[in-house]
């Protein structure tokens, strides 16, 4: 017993100096999981080959184990920057891979607390091999159990690829950095001078490149975000998301006046969303990236839903490359874990221009079409205002497999807007008219009365009902109740070939 106590004390002791202002690896885990619920695995695993130093610390720089969050099982690993800088060695990698295997066998989420400088140089190819093994486990777990990465320090080199494959990544403002190649190496190889913050800081990753999904103010906020995120998610793809007591139903009457009378005038789509979901609460995913589309987790009558909505406050809610990829990934996540999709449409179409075309808007914009068409979860769509061209088709249309499609009287479902359509269809008449502006105004008004309404789509059954805005939540609640337990089957195949 004395020997056991000595070894436990050595294994759980402070491994060395860590960066100022951070918690240790075990402290982070204890702050994440329910008090007293954590059981550590691999406590006495030791580093293999540490070179000239001869140090073989217990744990090898990573703490692994399982516990509960709000009473629900999770597997957790936390990289320890005080041991070899948190770099991955062979034993470190084997412990992490074993934890991933445990999560897959037991069907519970995996949370990784990342704080690593990358591969351990002195262990050579063994370190690289374990990165590949870890990524293989990430891929095997994808769509089977939720995977959440929290970057609490550096996440460099091979270490960055594992969070890239997981479902969600949380970063801490001013403290987290994630990149394949650091500033010093970039300057040595290319001569370019940059900083870790500009290259892969939390704000860059949340706003510029979209590598992260949540920006936290500090470590406590990051761990709070993980706990909130888990409350919306099932333990695995075979279990339903958790259910809670239905939240308060916001008043629906203000929705009647949210959409401005003038078609080109912007408004905040979140006003509509908050008036529909329980307690008006939304957990935004990638809020700072591609803000022209909103992706969020919410609840309706106590059950989780994934919300996808165009945001007219930014670029009129247009679909561009970033928005398409952001929404496609979110739609596929919800579909993988049985979370119904609620879509709100106000879209002028796909963004035109040479920059978008050269950037691959056809291939990359098609990802969102693919994601909606592939999804078999319940899908409910509300057309709020514009639904033009390809934007109408992609944003949860009946033709891509939506189950219930609703439209407000303000909806405009057409190939294009009235001004553009009139300019193309009547250009000769306008050129010959004595007063072309007066004629244009009459033609636009006629087009909007005939083609620019939701009723043509309703006549064909493409819209199931045209509803008063104030009645949106009741209609959505009834639709989701009717679709609860929906079963759909895709053709047997290895997997589809999404345009990557």
Residue 147: is its pLDDT beyond 90? yes
Flag whether pLDDT at 54 surpasses 70: no
Structure tokens at 434: 């004595």
Given a contact cutoff of 8 angstroms between Cβ atoms, the answer to whether 143 and 124 are in contact is: no
pLDDT of residue 418: 67
Q: What is the pTM of this model?
A: 0.93
Q: Extract the tokens encoding 495.
A: 């997997």
Closest CA to 470 of 301, 253, 266: 253
The dihedral through the CA atoms of 343, 344, 348, 352 has a sign that is: negative
pLDDT at residue number 272: 96
Region 421-429: mean pLDDT is 73
Helical axes 219-230 vs 25-32, angle rounded to 10°:
40
d(Cα 395, Cα 349) in Å, to the nearest integer?
Answer: 10
How many CB atoms lie under 10 A from the CB of residue 305? 25
The closest alpha carbon to 473, from 382, 379, 341, 377, belongs to 382
CA count, 13 A, side-chain hemisphere, 54: 0
Under a CB-based contact definition with an 8 Å cutoff, are residues 200 and 178 in contact? yes
Q: What is the pLDDT of residues 256-300, one digit of tens each?
A: 999 998 877 999 999 999 999 999 999 999 999 999 999 999 999
pLDDT, one tens digit per residue, over 2-45 is 888 877 777 777 655 555 457 889 999 999 999 999 999 988 88
Instruction: Give the chain's radius of gyration (CA, Å).
Output: 26
* Residue 394, pLDDT above cutoff 90: yes
Whole-angstrom distance between the N-terminal and C-terminal Cα of the chain?
Answer: 57
Q: What is the mean pLDDT of the chain?
A: 91
The rounded distance, in Å, linking the Cα atoms of 100 and 103 is: 5
Q: Which residues contact 164 (CB under 8 A, 6 or more apart)?
A: 211
Q: Tens digit of pLDDT for each residue in 224-265?
A: 999 999 999 999 999 999 999 998 877 778 999 999 988 779
Give Dmax (Cα) for the chain.
103
Return the percentage of the chain with pLDDT > 90, whole number: 68
């Amino acid at each position: 017993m004395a020997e056991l106590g000595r070894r436990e004390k050595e294994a759980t002791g402070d491994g060395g100096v860590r960066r100022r202002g951070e918690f240790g690896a075990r402290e982070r885990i204890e702050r994440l999981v329910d008090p007293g619920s954590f059981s550590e695995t691999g406590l006495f695993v030791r580093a293999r080959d540490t070179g000239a130093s001869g140090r073989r610390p217990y744990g090898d720089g990573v703490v692994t184990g399982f516990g509960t969050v709000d009473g629900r099982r999770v597997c957790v690993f936390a990289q320890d920057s005080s041991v070899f800088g948190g770099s991955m060695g062979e034993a470190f990698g084997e412990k992490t891979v074993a934890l991933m295997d445990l999560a897959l066998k037991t069907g519970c989420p995996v949370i990784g607390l990342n704080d690593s400088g990358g591969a351990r140089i002195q262990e050579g190819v063994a370190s690289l091999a374990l990165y590949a093994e870890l990524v293989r486990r990430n891929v095997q777990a994808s769509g089977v159990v939720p995977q959440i990465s929290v970057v609490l320090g550096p996440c460099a080199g091979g270490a960055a690829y594992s969070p890239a494959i997981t479902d969600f990544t949380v970063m801490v403002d001013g403290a987290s950095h994630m990149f394949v190649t650091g500033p010093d190496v970039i300057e040595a190889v290319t001569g370019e001078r940059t900083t870790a913050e500009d290259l892969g800081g939390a704000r860059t990753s949340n706003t510029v490149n979209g590598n992260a999904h949540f920006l936290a103010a500090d470590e406590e906020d990051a761990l709070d975000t993980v706990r909130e995120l888990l409350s919306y998610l099932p333990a695995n793809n075979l279990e339903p998301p958790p259910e809670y007591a239905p939240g308060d139903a916001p008043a629906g009457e203000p929705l009647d006046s949210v959409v401005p009378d003038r078609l080109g005038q912007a408004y905040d789509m979140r006003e509509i969303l908050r008036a529909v979901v329980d307690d008006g609460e939304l957990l935004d995913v990638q809020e700072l990236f591609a803000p022209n589309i909103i992706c969020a987790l919410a609840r309706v009558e106590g059950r989780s839903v994934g919300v996808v909505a165009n945001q007219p406050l930014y670029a009129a809610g247009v679909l561009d490359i970033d928005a398409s990829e952001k929404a496609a990934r979110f739609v596929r996540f919800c579909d993988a874990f049985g979370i119904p999709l609620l879509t709100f449409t106000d879209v002028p179409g796909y963004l035109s221009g040479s920059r978008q075309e050269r950037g691959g808007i056809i291939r990359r914009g098609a990802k969102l079409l693919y994601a909606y068409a592939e999804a078999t979860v319940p899908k409910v769509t509300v057309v709020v205002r514009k639904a033009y061209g390809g934007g109408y088709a992609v944003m949860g249309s009946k033709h891509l497999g939506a189950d219930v499609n609703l439209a407000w009287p303000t909806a405009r479902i057409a190939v294009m807007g009235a001004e553009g359509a009139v300019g193309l269809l009547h250009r000769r008449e306008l050129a010959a008219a004595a007063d072309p502006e007066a004629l244009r105004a009459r033609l636009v008004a006629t087009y909007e009365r005939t083609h620019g309404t939701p009723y043509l789509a309703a006549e064909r059954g493409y819209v199931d009902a045209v509803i008063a805005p104030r009645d949106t939540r009741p209609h959505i609640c009834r639709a989701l109740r009717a679709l609860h337990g929906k079963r759909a089957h895709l053709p047997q195949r290895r997997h589809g070939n999404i345009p990557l």
